[in-house]
Amino acid sequence: MSNKPTLPKGTRDFGPLQVQRRKYMLQTIERVFKKYGFMPIETPAMENLATLEGKYGDEGDQLLFRVIDSGEYFEKAKRNLIPENSIEIQNNLTENVQGIIRNVINPNVINEISEENIRSFIDSFISKYKGDEINSTSSKSRLSNSVLSYLKKEKKTLAKNIYKLILKSNLKLSDDESTFKLYFKEFQEAYLNKISLEIISELKDTRKRLSTLTSKELNNYITEKGLRYDLTVPFARFIVMNRNEIMFPFKRYQMQPVWRADRPQKGRYREFWQCDADIIGSKSLLNEIDLIQIYAEAFHELGIPYQIKINNRKVLAGIAEVVKGIEYMNTIAVAIDKLDKVGEEGVKKELNNHGFTANEIQLLFDILKTEGNAQLQELKSKLNNSAEGLRGIEELEFIISNIHSIPNGTINLSTDFSLARGLSYYTGAIFEVVATAGTLKSSIGGGGRYDNLTGIFGLPDVSGVGISFGLDRMYDVMEELNLFPDTLKACETKVLCCYFDKATQEYALRGAALLRANNIATEVYPDITKKIGKQLDYANALHIPYAVIIGENEMKSGKAVLKNLTKGTQHELSLEEIVHYLQLN
Amino acid sequence: MSNKPTLPKGTRDFGPLQVQRRKYMLQTIERVFKKYGFMPIETPAMENLATLEGKYGDEGDQLLFRVIDSGEYFEKAKRNLIPENSIEIQNNLTENVQGIIRNVINPNVINEISEENIRSFIDSFISKYKGDEINSTSSKSRLSNSVLSYLKKEKKTLAKNIYKLILKSNLKLSDDESTFKLYFKEFQEAYLNKISLEIISELKDTRKRLSTLTSKELNNYITEKGLRYDLTVPFARFIVMNRNEIMFPFKRYQMQPVWRADRPQKGRYREFWQCDADIIGSKSLLNEIDLIQIYAEAFHELGIPYQIKINNRKVLAGIAEVVKGIEYMNTIAVAIDKLDKVGEEGVKKELNNHGFTANEIQLLFDILKTEGNAQLQELKSKLNNSAEGLRGIEELEFIISNIHSIPNGTINLSTDFSLARGLSYYTGAIFEVVATAGTLKSSIGGGGRYDNLTGIFGLPDVSGVGISFGLDRMYDVMEELNLFPDTLKACETKVLCCYFDKATQEYALRGAALLRANNIATEVYPDITKKIGKQLDYANALHIPYAVIIGENEMKSGKAVLKNLTKGTQHELSLEEIVHYLQLN
């Protein structure tokens, strides 16, 4: 008996009812995306780490799931760990071989000699030795002998080649061939011993390097790929790779799982789904207006009580400018982003640590707390000295006034000037959505405008704006608030065909085929050994609403008993009548 | 400017049209699954390697994508690599400390002394030293000194403790305290030097071990998780983990990507989708009959010309029994599985290498080539001496005759006695599906019955049977044969709202809201700077069929121009009339 199987930490199986509910959510969101003209794309689960790294901050990089290269990755890593040393050794070799040449030829023409042969010898020597010795268990003396004998053998050829090269090139030797040989012999004795010691020390260094190597360093040698961390960076990569086939503005949606090696807790999983909609290649604020409507419509359809919070990075910039200086925008953003977690006092303390005076902090909170009907007007007067801040307020005004003028029911949208969101690539609008009922405090959606996300992949100046639905958190909210329609069932089978023996079983098979041909989801109970009661138990356990029971008499008369398992009523009908009845009910 | 981004080898992006087509395929297959009573489940992309390894043969294990543990996995691995040596050292330490005790106390009572203090000293010593030195760059002499000084300091306490322990326990010392101290001093001089050398050599050993470590060995230290390789093993794991909540027979479908580090080639990707249906907990052949109907119906709906091949492992067992002996079943299965690749001669050669005589090979091929209308009857006479073989033929007969008696149109099902399929867990029916048109030679589906797949996870004797659709290969076939409906479009937007200025833009926003409220997929062209011509270019590029054009006059009269972009016709209508028209067209 084997060990009990388990799931990796932070991951989950989804049983039939959960999948049906998740599909219902995905279909609802997808329908809204399509209604607003968004097109689907999908990207692979694995991305090159070059694509992922450096996009989510240091913390994000640490949360990437890294996939090791297949095959003999560690052997390769070890070979790759050596070059730093071997380059030096290679340089030494080159210098020394040049040295011997200097001794045997006219020093005045040394610079004109081709080093190709010499270099190729050195290269093959190095590459031959590297892989080999790392994996060998040779003792120091065995290694030394083998290096020596190898070098001696090769060096003779080298000596010959060098000599030939010198003769061919019409360079003048300072001596004849026998003198050259003598020089070369001396070189072998003195020099080769030195080389063998260098090789040994190189191997030692490699071992030492391995033993002091950190995981972070090793990553570079053994991993090339990672699981995607979000859908935004893969989307930016997609845009850059397909820029020539895409009609801009490009409106795409994407609904796929992402993976983060985060510490699992309530509402935080290591595999979870994001549903993203982005418009790229348009600076128009109409896109922000569409995205807000999408949020409102999807949450409304799902019945989730929601509040969309909106802010603007330019407003944050304006606040910074007025309070202390625009260069403090990120400091302020990072600090007030924690308002929910650490409270007003905590934020004040952090700002104080960053050198904010009590007056500045007072001013900041005074601005953040601008409220009431004329909120934006009031903020305008407070940020009157910041052109950037006023632009941000204008953008907010345009978006909010249009949202209110659209006849689309109530949209729960409010400004929150303390909304900052961590991601530093946002440049305009920022969104965040929270559920206004239930116990989940973290956001169920977020997004914003980014003016240069594709720039990191070499396509600058393409503005985009997007939102994301956090499917798994929304699921948790819906489950807690009991928002899933009762019509969603684990099993969608409408009728179970039951029978008594071999003959009625075959009849049931044909009857099932007829029902299925009429698009009625049908099962035939598979096991002939089970009595009708057991067969009906199966139907009841799966909440299958109808059973068709086929006995010998029914079979002979071309009929069957249709039983309503909810009501307990039953009728003898022809198969055609059963089809007709079930299509209507 | 950064490097051009790329995708990992063997993975693909899917643009809008591809996603729409894939969704169409998935929905078609899913509809059929549901019609036959199957329920959806989903499992995480990552599974513990303990779940995956050893299920797909050595080759499969090598094709697993392994995910490295997050955090300081290599540091941990290095610590885990040491214990083998350190246990020995620890044992030596214990023995030696016991030795010194033996010297200072009455040898007759040695066994009654508690070793707790001594052991705890040794443990802390060992654990303090391990992590430290591995990462340090101390030279041999610095290491030696630090070890010595540490030990000397600690040993004094130990000596004191041992002495106290001895006094407390009322044991008789063979000498007084000063003699004890003398003994202990001697111990220090001779013994501690030995220990420090052992520590140094332990460190050396670890380095050497790292440098000779293979990737396969390292895997055990740095990876715990891998990407799923198929959907069958995760399903078996799911069954075992949820056995108490599941009503058996359990019919599940699962449509998710799987990953294999295979060499990419035509029809072979590193990320690809499988669509599986399995019934578990029923031995009835009605399940096989259902699965064949599902194959037929799904391929028919998609328009893919197909041939389902069926065989039975019991027939293969019977053939082996008749030809040479039942113990040769796997040898024969593995050999004839390659018939397509290496041809008859290749298979004969392989069998010959396995010790099959020419007569045996002749007999085998004679049986495999049993054809014609009375095929199964003929095979019966040939396998007359194998009870297992006859059982297999009976199963085939039952399945085939029922498939033919069901009024469900033509099902392209044929027996193929050389069909073996690699996976060794099959015990009954085996299926394989090929496309009968197009250039793809590899299978687009496969499956079979397995009598003990959950047994590997500790739940024996649960029979199951399942099939798999290879979505990506089917896609390639459909693309090559031009089988996707023309109605599938990248963009499903029905109407683009165009406008001229700020006022008409706001009117367009409200109009769009009305259209969307009536479930008409609508876009408002976002950029006010673009002229109507450019806006219509966008609609035409995305094949959006209608445009609603709003000028100042239309706006004032509460109307708009509805333009049919395919025909080029246009009419001025009220917004309500436009809604009505688009709902009907």
Task: Give the three-class secondary structure for B305.
Answer: coil
Q: Where are the alpha helices (DSSP H) in B83-139?
A: 83-104, 116-135
For chain A, percent of residues with pLDDT exceeding 90: 63
Number of CB pairs < 8 Å for A and B?
334
Q: What residues of chain A lie within 8 A of the CB of B510, using their CB?
A: 405-407
Q: What pLDDT digit, counting tens, does each position of B246-268 carry?
A: 999 999 999 999 999 999 988 89
Chain A touched by B36 (CB under 8 Å): yes
β-strand pairing of A570-574 with B495-499: unpaired
- B315 within 8 A of B389, measured Cβ to Cβ: yes
Lowest-confidence segment of A99-103, B58-62, B281-285 by average pLDDT: A99-103
Question: Residue A199 pLDDT more than 60?
Answer: no
Q: Do the Cβ atoms of A519 and B67 come within 8 Å?
A: no
Contacts of B304 (CB under 8 A, 6+ apart): B435, B444, B474, B477, B478, B481, B483
Q: What residues of chain B lie within 8 A of the CB of A517, using their CB?
A: 407-408
Question: Residue B105 pLDDT more than 50?
Answer: no
Report the pLDDT value the prediction gives residue B575, as an integer from 0 to 100. Answer: 94
Buried b / exposed e over A499-519, threshold 16 CB at 10 Å, is bbeeebbbbbbbbbbbbbeee
Report the pLDDT value the prediction gives residue B92, as an integer from 0 to 100. Answer: 52
Dihedral sign (CA B332, B333, B334, B336): positive
Q: What pLDDT digit, counting tens, does each position of B182-218 carry?
A: 555 554 544 444 554 555 555 556 666 776 778 888 8
Q: What residues of chain A lie within 8 A of the CB of B521, using their CB?
A: 34-37
For chain A, percent of residues with pLDDT exceeding 70: 76
**Pairwise pLDDT comparison (A227 vs A60), residue with the higher score:** A227
Question: Residue A532 pLDDT more than 60?
Answer: yes
Report the pLDDT value the prediction gives residue B77, as an integer from 0 to 100. Answer: 78
What is the pLDDT confidence band of residue A198, given thresholds at 50, 70 and 90? low
Q: What residues of chain A lie within 8 A of the CB of B406, using their CB?
A: 509-510, 513
Chain B touched by A75 (CB under 8 Å): yes
Chain B touched by A251 (CB under 8 Å): yes
Question: Residue B301 pLDDT more than 90?
Answer: yes
Question: Residue B117 pLDDT more than 80?
Answer: no
Rounded to a whole number of angstroms, the distance from the CA of B352 to the nearest CA of chain A is 33
- Find the mean pLDDT for residues B363-368: 94
Lowest-confidence segment of B80-94, B123-137, B314-328 by average pLDDT: B123-137
What is the pLDDT confidence band of residue B559, given thresholds at 50, 70 and 90? very high
Report the pLDDT value the prediction gives residue A256, as an integer from 0 to 100. Answer: 98
Which residue's entry shows tokens 């797949």? B453
In chain A, residues 451-490 whose CB comes closer than 8 Å to chain B: 456-458, 490
Q: Is the ipTM of this complex over 0.90?
A: no
Q: Cα dist. B322→A5, A120, A524, B316 in Å?
A: 40, 63, 37, 10
In chain B, residues 161-220 whose CB comes closer than 8 Å to chain A: 203, 206-208, 210-215, 218-219
Chain B touched by A449 (CB under 8 Å): no
Lowest-confidence segment of A81-95, A458-472, B405-419, B516-530 by average pLDDT: A81-95
Total residues belonging to chain B? 585
- Find the mean pLDDT for residues B479-506: 96
Report the pLDDT value the prediction gives residue A319, as an integer from 0 to 100. Answer: 95
What is the pLDDT confidence band of residue B221, given thresholds at 50, 70 and 90? confident
Buried b / exposed e over A344-365, threshold 16 CB at 10 Å, is eeebbebbeeeebeeebbebbb
β-strand pairing of A250-259 with A271-280: antiparallel
Report the pLDDT value the prediction gives residue B103, as an integer from 0 to 100. Answer: 44
Q: What pLDDT digit, counting tens, does each position of A216-268 carry?
A: 888 888 899 999 999 999 999 999 999 999 999 999 999 999 999 999 988 89
Dihedral sign (CA B402, B403, B409, B410): negative
Instruction: Return the number of other C-beta atoms located less than 10 Å from residue B266's C-beta.
Output: 11
Lowest-confidence segment of A61-70, B45-54, B163-172, B315-324 by average pLDDT: B163-172
Question: Residue A122 pLDDT more than 70?
Answer: no
Question: Residue A113 pLDDT more than 70?
Answer: no
Which of A510, A523, A536, A576 best tests the B interface by mutation, with the highest count of B CBs <10 A?
A523
Q: What residues of chain A lie within 8 A of the CB of B35, using their CB?
A: 516, 519-522
Q: Which two tokens stand for residue B249?
A: 């027979």
Question: Residue B394 pLDDT more than 70?
Answer: yes
What is the pLDDT confidence band of residue A421, given thresholds at 50, 70 and 90? confident
Q: Do the Cβ atoms of A402 and B506 come within 8 Å?
A: yes
Q: Do the Cβ atoms of A44 and B7 come within 8 Å?
A: yes
Dihedral sign (CA A515, A517, A519, A522): positive
Question: Residue A80 pLDDT more than 60?
Answer: yes
Model pTM?
0.83
Q: Do the Cβ atoms of A516 and B35 come within 8 Å?
A: yes
Question: Residue B132 pLDDT more than 60?
Answer: no
Question: Residue A115 pLDDT more than 50?
Answer: no
Lowest-confidence segment of A79-83, A319-323, B263-267 by average pLDDT: A79-83
Q: Do the Cβ atoms of A245 and B283 come within 8 Å?
A: no
Compare all CA atoms of chain A with the CA of B509 and give the residue at the minimum distance. Answer: A406
Q: What pLDDT digit, counting tens, does each position of A342-394 carry?
A: 999 999 999 999 999 999 999 999 999 888 778 899 999 999 999 999 999 99
Report the pLDDT value the prediction gives residue B169, as an integer from 0 to 100. Answer: 47
Question: Residue A131 pLDDT more than 50?
Answer: no
Q: Which of B405, B506, B527 comes nearest A506 by C-beta? A: B405
Which of A14, A20, A31, A46 best tests the B interface by mutation, with the highest count of B CBs <10 A?
A46
Dihedral sign (CA A569, A575, A579, A584): negative
Chain B touched by A152 (CB under 8 Å): no
Question: Residue A170 pLDDT more than 90?
Answer: no
β-strand pairing of A546-550 with A559-564: antiparallel
Chain B touched by A247 (CB under 8 Å): yes
Q: Which of B74, B287, B541 comes nearest A215 by C-beta? A: B74
